[in-house]
């Protein structure tokens, strides 16, 4: 595993330990391996949601849009739901 992956995962652990009310992931999973990416979207983010946390995840990966409560799409300069 590269140092970049390790740093990102340590930053995630730090954020989770701080028990924040709002989490923002801006293309965070793009640099992760496929297995951890799935774990992030299907387990970690769902657990945060179940604990009443607000999660904003910016991603181009349509594969995981189904786990969102609301999907906003920016297309041709317009934001749609």
Please tell me the predicted confidence (pLDDT) of residue 3.
74
When pLDDT is cut at 50, 70 and 90, the band that residue 14 belongs to is very high
Q: Kindly tell me the burial class for residue 45, based on how many C-beta atoms sit within 10 Å of its own C-beta (0-12, 13-18, 19 or more).
A: buried
33 pLDDT band, cuts 50/70/90, is confident
Q: Hey, what domains does the chain have and what are their CATH numbers?
A: 3-80 (3.40.50.300)
- Look at residue 42 in the predicted model and tell me its pLDDT: 92
What is the Cα–Cα distance from 12 to 73, expressed in whole angstroms? Answer: 25
Q: Whole-prediction pTM value?
A: 0.79
Q: What is the 3-state secondary structure (H, E, C) of the chain?
A: CCHHHHHHHHHHHHHHHCCCCEEEEECHHHHCCHHHHHHHHHHHHHHHHHCCCEEEEECCCHHHHHHCCCCCEEECCEEEC
């Amino acid at each position: 595993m590269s140092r970049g992956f390790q740093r990102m995962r340590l930053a995630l652990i730090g954020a989770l330990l701080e028990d924040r009310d709002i989490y923002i992931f801006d293309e965070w999973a793009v640099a992760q391996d496929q297995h951890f990416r799935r774990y992030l979207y299907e387990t970690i983010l769902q657990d945060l949601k179940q604990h009443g946390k607000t999660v904003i995840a910016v991603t181009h990966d349509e594969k995981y849009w189904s786990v969102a409560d609301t999907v906003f799409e920016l297309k041709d300069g317009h934001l749609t739901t």
